[in-house]
Amino acid sequence: MDSAHDSREATPFDQIGGEQKVLALVERFYDLMELEPRFGAVRATHGTELARARQNLFWFLCGWLGGPQHYVERFGHPRLRMRHMPFAIGIRERDEWLACMDQALADTAVDETLRRRLSASFFQTADWMRNRGG
């Protein structure tokens, strides 16, 4: 057994359950965005189809959570703010994105402690992404 591997702290990627669980989270997130009218403003920022967004968020979250760096391997540094500049992101879109992700975290049975930790990090990132006032 690899003692270096045994001694490392479990990443959020490990805690969430690996790639399959991250994929389930992303699928639920975008399913909710499509199904729930209360997420209409954030859904409108995504265009007509969500396949690319689903794939990119899955790749990004794997790495962001401490797992495989799929997104970076394909596209380099995420440069999140720059990549999201073309989309109008205000407080409403931020809050809808966060509410949709929080429901997806709950619906995919992410541990409550990890869910709170991730939600705090998601808020910081989502708030930093805002590029419109309201």
pLDDT tens-digit series, residues 16-72: 999 999 999 999 999 999 999 999 999 999 989 999 999 999 999 999 999 999 999
Is 115 a residue whose pLDDT tops 50? yes
Do residues 31 and 46 lie in contact, with contact meaning Cβ atoms separated by under 8 Å? no
DSSP-H helix ranges across the chain: 3-7, 12-16, 19-35, 40-44, 51-64, 70-75, 80-84, 91-107, 112-129
Given a cut of 90, whether residue 84 has pLDDT beyond it is no
Residue 61 neighbours by CB distance under 10 Å: 23
AA identity, residue 5: H
- Predicted TM-score of the model (pTM): 0.89
Residue 1's pLDDT is: 45
**Tell me, what's the pLDDT at 124?**
96
Homologous superfamily (CATH) for 14-129:
Globins (1.10.490.10)
Show the tokens assigned to 38.
């209360």
Where exactly are the structural domains of the chain?
14-129
* Start-to-end C-alpha separation, the chain: 54
